Structure formats: C-alpha cells, structure tokens
Structure 1
Amino acid sequence: MIAGRYLRARRKEAFISVIAGLTMVGVAIGVATLIVVMSVMNGFRGELLDKILGLNGHFTGYPIESQFTDYKETVAALEQVNGVGFAVYFVEGQVLASGRGNSSGVTVRGMDEENLKKLSLLYNSAEQGGFDQWDDSRGVAIGYRLAQSLGVGIGDQVQIINPDGAMTPFGSTPQIRSYPVNAIYNLGMVEFDSYFMFMPLEAAQDYFRMVDEVLKPGMGPLDPLASDEEIDAAYERVPRASAIEIFIDDPDAVGIMRQRLQAVPDLRPLVLTSWQQRNETFFSALQVERVVMFTILSMIILVAAFNIISSLIMLVKDKAADIAVLRTMGATRGAIMRIFSITGTSIGFIGTAVGLVLGVVVAANAETIRASISDLLGVTLFPPEVFFLSSLPSRTDPVEVTVVVCMALGLSFLATLYPAWRAAQYDPVEALRYE
C-alpha cells in the first residue's frame, strides 16, 4: 500500500513522478526494441535458410570417378538411408541468357517433372504459366526478376549461349539456342529469382552435351561398310547428370548423416558438400550480428535501470520524514527496504509488460509496418537487392522473449537495492530534528 502511494503523483512530487514515468517508458522501449530486432533477425535467418534449403539440398553430391550415368540408381539407394527425406538429380551449367535487347549470366539447371515435384517450394511458386507437362514442354522456367531484366513474358523466346560448344576445324564454336518461356516463378529470394533458369532434363542434357553414344553390350566391332541404320542400332544413348541434391529430415544432423551416406554399400564414390560448408561464412556472420545486436540493444534497458536508481534516490530524499515516522512507529529496516524495492520494481515491471506487448505486436506486423512507412516516405526500406529477401520476415522466439523479460525484470530489481538500502539506513532522530 505504501509503495503504491509513493508511485502515485502528488502536486509537490510531480517532478519525481515524471522521472519515474520516463524511466518506465525507457524500460518499455528497450524491451520492445530487443524483441522486435531479435524477431526480425530470427525471421531473416529462417527465411534465408528455408529458401536456400528449399531449392538446394542439405548435401550436394558430385561424382568422383567415371561419368555420372547411374544417377537414378544412386538416388534410389540414397533415399533408402534412414534420415534422408528425398534426393534429386540434375544437370547444371552456366550460360548467357538474352531477351529483348538485354542479357544476363544465369545458371541453367535441368530437371525432370518428377524431381521438380519433390521441390515443392519451386513447383508451387509459379506466378505465370506452370510446370504441367514439363518433360514434353521443351521450354524454360525463369524467375520474375530475371524475366523483368530480360524483358520477356510467357511464350517469349529466350536465347541462351554456351561458349563451350561443338568442336570444329577452327576451334570451339558457341552453342546458341532459343527456348520459349513456359513458367515465371517467384521464390521471394533475389538470388534465385534473378540468376536461375530451369529446363527439362532431356533438353538440358542435349544442350550441354551430357549424352554419350556407346556401343550396346555384346556388340562387336562394326563393319566399316555398315549403313547408318546399322550404326544407329548398334549404339545407345547414355545420358549423364551433373550432381545430386540430398534433403535430410534434420538440417542440423549433418555430421551423423554424412557418415550414414558414406556407409551406403555399393554406392559410387561421391564428394558430399553440406549446406553448412557452402554457407558457413554467411550464417556465421549472421550469428555474430545477432550476438552483437543483442548486447548493444541491452544497453537501453541498462540505461533505464540506472534511471530507476536515480528516481528512487530522489524519492528517498523526498520521503526522509516519512521514513523516520515509519521507523518510530515500529517499521523495521527490512520493511523500509521492501517498500522502496517494490516501488522501483513496479516501475520496471510495468515498463517490461508494456514493452512486451508492444514488441510482440510490432514484430507480428513488421512487414505491414515496413510497407506502410515505405509508402509514406516514398523510399524502399530494406531493399531486396541488398537484403536478399523481397519482404521483411519476423519470427518471434518464445525462449528469447522470456530471456529479454527476465533480464529486464532482473535489472529493474537490482537497480532498487542500493536506494532501498540507503532508505533503511536513515536515522529517525536525524531525519525528524528539523521537522
């Protein structure tokens, strides 16, 4: 009751109450800022991880020895391993893509419809066109940013140029072909929407010359005078793949899954590169940034805690006579300490509660707030070309929110100890001498 009375403003104590109110606002701002920033950073990391691992596997396997012609058997064997969700094979190459007067370097990845359906993130991201009858389409799928860059739409022709073309007596000639745009997808990640092009597997194998003509088993030397029909009948086309992507159930179980994959019997030797190895620098930088931002923003709460100390010291000075009267009426030093500890902790508790509500609400509507501010100011906040994502993601972690709230309450309580101790040390005689 006494602590509550000290929190309520009176006319002669208005200045102290204003300081207490500002302190409360400082705690609220610190808590809300920490929750919002950590939620946005969690969302940023989570979205990047989902996008990257939604298209690229947790492991990428490259053949070591002979040509990769048994890719279907290899995928079937890997999918039987405990902990493996699925695996896909593909053909990949670098080309120059040209549209209506514009050109861009892109990565072409050839996949059949069966494997595309496994990549649900890609298969369901088509904004225009689609992947129906993909294997027979003889067309390509490109990201919407690449489509804007090349100035093409559904049905338009895209010309791709591969410098490693056919060999002639005059050297290697570039291989130039045109393909219609059958699908335009939007993954929401600048890298994939700007630099990746997909085409049917057989078309990609043909374009990148990933098909070998080999003699059928049991065929002897051909007659030099054999006809073209006999030669065609004696040879068979053996397609190759560039690599395979392996998707596992637990992205963090890279170490144990590597051992399981390498222990598969009768599996061709593969060089396995995990997603952590491919993105080690990037995600390490994100983790360091998270720790640094948490440390820096925690200073806001620490400053507010010092404000609690100053406001309580002023309150103790103002209430010296009240403290002396309470002591003469039988209040113990412990009771005096509890009064001022409750007063200061209440400031921190109310500020923390307000900051918690404010932070959770803002974090839940981060993208809406960003879009509104961008429209109001006429500028692009968090441009996707810099931050890789087309929207501002936010994921609130209950554990981190609990840590922030506990830290704010803990600092608020610690800030009350010294002023409360000073109040308990007041001598009633000295305090009342000039009253």
Structure 2
Amino acid sequence: MDQSKSASTKPFARFEWMIAWRYLRARREEGGVSTMTWISLIGITLAVAALIITLAVRTGFRSEFVDTILGSNAHVTVYSSIYVDDDQTSRQIEDYAGWAEALSAVPGVTRAAPLVRGQVLSTYRSANVAMDVYGISYDNLLSIPRVGQTPDESWGDISRFSEGIAIGSGVARELGVAVGDRIKLISPEGAKTAFGTSPRVSSYEVVYVFTAGRYDIDKTRAYLPFDQAQTYFNRTGSADEIEVMIEDPESVDDMAMPLLLAAGDRAMIWTWRDASGSFLRALDIEDNVMFVILSILVLIAAMNIVSGLIMLVKNKGRDIGILRTIGLTEGSVMRVFFICGAFTGLIGTVFGVALGALFAMYIDTIMAFVNYLNGGGAWDPSIRGIYALPAELRFVDVAKAVSLSLGLSFIVTIFPARKAARMNPVEALRYE
C-alpha cells in the first residue's frame, strides 16, 4: 500500500484487529509471550473478582448493620432534661401521652411510643443473665420490624404479650428457657422501706422469643407490657423516654429540630446516628482503605500486561520493520499493540466480574463450606455482631471495579505500544 492510503486509514481498521489477533495467538516457539498473556489474564481476573467481592461484602455488611439498628431500635429517642421534683432530680416524663401525641403530629413521623427502661438480672434455675428491659405497649411492639414482624425467626404467641414477657433468642439460650417457662427478674430499684430500698423480685412467663438479627441485642433485650414495667420500675404515671420512628431514617438529622420544637423546652434527642455514628465512620474509613489497597492489586495485575507486551514487541521486531516498510504508520503499529494489551485487560475484566458476582451471590454456601472446614469457628457472631457474612451486589460497585480495571489496563498498554510504534524499521531489519 502507498503512504497516502495508509495515512488515510481509519483508526482501529479491520487489518489492525487481524494483526493483533494473530499476535495474541503466539506460536509454540513464542511460548514466553503466550505464558505472559495467560498470567496477565489470570491476574486481572483475580484482582477484579477480589475487588468486586470486597465491595459487595462491604456494602452488605453496612446495609445489614444499619438494617438491624433501624429494625430493632428507635430512629430517634426523645427524653427529658434533668429537673427537680420533690427535692430530687429526675428525667421522667410525666406527660408522656402529650409528648407522644405532639411528636406523632410532626410530618415524617410514623410512630411515637412511650417507653420505660431498666436493667435487671434475670434468673432461671441456676442460670443468670443481665437484661435491658423495655416497657412498651402491645401495638407498638407489633410495629417494631425486627421484633414484632418476623414470625419466621420467632417462637411463641406475641398476642399473649400482656400475660408475660418477650425475650431475645440469646437470652433464652443463655438461660436455657423456652416458651412457657417462668423467669425471675431482680431489680435493685425495688420498694422503699424504713430500712432502705429492697430489691424487687417478680416472676414472668416467657410468651415470645424473638431474633432481632444482632447478637448483642438478642443476648440482652426483653420487653414487658408498658403498665407492668411502670409498676416494676417505680414509674407509675410516667415514662423514661419516647421512641420515635420516622419514614426516612437516613434524613434523621433534618428531623431533629422539628422534633425538639414539638416536644417542648425540656426535650432532648438522641438519634440512631449519634448512637452508631462512630462505628459507621470507622466502616467508611475501612471501606476507603480497602478500595485503595485492592486498586493497587489491580494495578499490579495490569503491570503484567506491560511485561507481556514488551516481550511481544521484542519478538515481533522484524514484523514491525516489515509493516513499517510496506507503509503502516506509527499510529497503526501503536494501535495493533494497544489492541493486544487492551484485549487482555478486557477479557480478564469480564472473567473477573463473572467470578466476583458468582462469589457474592453464593457467599452463604461458600461460607458454610469454609465454616465446615474450620470446625464451625469461621464466623463468630459474638465478635462481629451479626449472624452471617452478608454481601450485596450493586451495579455502582461493579461499575467502579470495571472502570478501574479497564482504565488501568488501557493506560499501562500505551507505553509499550508507543515503543513499538517508534521503532526504527531499518534498525529492526538490520540484524534479521
């Protein structure tokens, strides 16, 4: 072909793809090039898969953690500031019905429930467990997603709540009780006598056992009927706090001021972000660090493409000289070798996405197998707080991994491709 025709050739023409494909199919005597291509392909595949799996587990863990917080705890807790009552300081809310009604009227609030809270020691036979007891009405208990709305993960009859106590599955396991057994609650805040305050001991039938999804909650929490909790904790005619649920928990910061104004001058609030903000910030920092580390891993895998292309350029020096002699431009030669490297990165990325997606979708099965190999100790909920390793595959996370892999693969390919394009054809053919 003459120079005028080659100069007018469109980029990435058909013949450029043909030459690149021929170079990718290395002959037996060029086994080194073929080996480096396979190493590059496998490296990119594993790096992209690792990045996608990490992002999926990271997203799943955060979603599961937030879901268990919002599914069993108040989005906003409204309580009273300290005031003096009968020469004693107190935080009790006497007009709890009025507070609850005013808070329920705030736009965006789905429920405002008065609560009585206290810590007790629960006993059954020779077992003892410390519990956080929440006094709540039956209707409000039913509206708690992870407690009153999970029939598949609970035991007993929640409709009998007024007749006994509802406890977490961890409490039931530690005490060794089942539905129908009676447990004793011991509280230091008992009856006041001339000799001081005597502990209060009461017995309640376990009518409902729930699983909230978080180990620390299931192991410590119990619910009593609101009126019985008032009597037991000496809160007759008052409540400790108001539990507020809102439509959009992620916008809880925007709801703070309207809730404060609705509750009155003595009101104070504590949101779910205040309670778990430090842990969520730690998760965000860990997420960013893991992404950077795995990005470096993808870069290292992409550098294998450079090694393979350098070997390919060295082996194809004679071919490059001949192609330049018959009229191929520097741009055409550069695009040929760019296609060789970019194609390896593209195929490796596709395989990596498939492998990472499959791992994320079947992570329960994989973790069960790993747990079996480790004798059941691979995942300890008492340390991690949740019962299983979650994974949530999101399009945006896959897009991040694909963009990073392809971007790095294309960038690192440019340098050896430019070296091939700038090779002097006379020098390339001199020693052939």
TM-score, normalising length from structure 1?
0.90
1:73 Cα shift? 2.5
Match of 1:292 among 274, 286, 289: 289
- Alignment pair present for 1:4 and 2:31: no
Contact 1:158 1:180 in 2 (8 A): yes
Whether the 8 Å CA contact 1:77–1:267 is kept in 2: the answer is no
Measure the CA separation in 2 of the matches of 1:203 and 1:88. 16
Supply the AA of the counterpart residue of 2:49: A
1:31 aligns with 2:48: yes
Pairwise CA distance, 1:367: 1.7
* Percent identity of paired positions between Structure 1 and Structure 2: 40
How far apart are 1:421 and its partner, in Å? 0.6
- 1:379, CA displacement in angstroms? 3.2
Q: Name the counterpart of 2:157.
A: 130
Cα shift at 1:263:
2.9
Secondary structure of residue in 1 paired with 2:249: coil
The answer (yes or no) to whether the contact 2:156–2:209 under 8 Å persists in 1 is: yes
Q: Does 1:82 align with 2:107?
A: yes
**Equivalent residue for 2:238, pick from 231, 237, 240:** 240
Report the residue type matching 1:19 in the other structure.
M
2-structure distance, mates of 1:134, 1:143? 14
Which blocks of at least 5 consecutive residues in structure 1 are unaligned? 212-238
| DSSP 3-state at the match of 1:132 | helix
Among 319, 322, 326, which residue is 1:322 paired with? 319
Displacement of 1:268 in angstroms is 5.8
1:261 aligned residue (259, 262, 283): 259
Q: Summarize deviations over 1:38-60 as a string: whole Å, max 9, x none.
A: 11111111111111111212211
User: Does residue 168 of the first structure (1) align with residue 193 of the second (2)?
Assistant: yes
SS of structure 2 residue aligned to 1:62: strand
The count of residues paired between Structure 1 and Structure 2 equals 405
Task: Verify: 1:252 aligned to 2:279, yes or no.
Answer: no
Structure 1 equivalent of residue 275 of structure 2: 278
Q: Does 1:156 align with 2:181?
A: yes
Q: Matched residues in 2 for 1:36 and 1:406: separation?
A: 16
Choose from 36, 59, 79 the match for 2:76. Answer: 59
Select between 77-86 and 356-365 the one with higher mean Cα deviation. 77-86
**Cα contact 1:121–1:187 (8 A) shared by 2:** yes
Please state if 1:334 is matched with 2:359: no
| Counterpart contact for 2:189–2:234, Cα < 8 Å | no
2:428 aligns with 431
Q: Secondary structure at the match of 2:377?
A: coil
Q: Is the 8 A contact 1:44 1:394 kept in 2?
A: yes
* Whole-angstrom CA distance in 2 between matches of 1:400 and 1:148: 39
2:93 partner amino acid: F
Give the structure 2 partner of residue 415 of structure 1.
412
1:394 Cα shift?
Answer: 1.0
CA–CA distance in 2 between the matches of 1:8 and 1:361? 29
Which of 381, 385, 406 is the matching residue for 1:384?
381
Deviation readout 1:123-172 (Å, 9 max, x if unpaired): 0235210211323x1x1111112111111111111111101211222222
Tell me how far apart the structure 2 counterparts of residues 308 and 283 of structure 1 sit (CA, whole Å). Answer: 38
8 Å Cα contact 1:100-1:152 kept in structure 2: no
| Alignment check: 8 A CA contact 1:26 1:300 kept | no
**Residues in 2 aligned to 1:115 and 1:398: alpha-carbon distance in whole angstroms:** 37
Q: Distance in 1 between matches of 2:42 and 2:224?
A: 57
Please tell me whether the aligned partners of residues 112 and 134 of structure 1 are also in contact (alpha carbons under 8 angstroms): no
Ranges in structure 2 where 5+ consecutive residues have no aligned partner: 1-17, 86-91
| Structure 1 residue identity aligned to 2:160 | Q
1:341-371: CA deviation from partner (whole Å, max 9, x where unpaired): 1100011000000001111111112122101
Alignment RMSD (CA, Å): 1.4
Contact map agreement 2:180 2:205 (CA 8 A) in 1: yes
- Residue 8 of structure 1 deviates from its aligned partner by 1.3
Rounded to whole Å, the distance in 1 between the matches of 2:341 and 2:58 is: 32
| Alignment of 1:114 onto 2:112 | no
Q: Greater CA deviation, 186-195 or 57-66?
A: 57-66
- Specify the alignment match of 1:182 in structure 2: 207
- Which moved further from structure 2: 151-160 or 403-412? 151-160
Tell me whether 322-331 or 239-248 shows the greater mean CA deviation.
Answer: 239-248
Looking at structure 2, the residues matched to 33 and 130 of structure 1 have their Cα atoms a distance apart, in angstroms, of 45
The answer to whether the 8 Å contact 2:143/2:149 transfers is no
Deviates more, 1:408-417 or 1:140-149: 140-149
Three-state SS of the structure 1 residue aligned to 2:239 is coil
TM (normalized to structure 2)? 0.91
Alpha-carbon deviation of 1:262? 2.3
Measured after TM superposition, the shift of residue 188 of structure 1 is 2.0
- AA in 2 matched with 1:86: R
Q: Which amino acid aligns with 1:175?
A: R
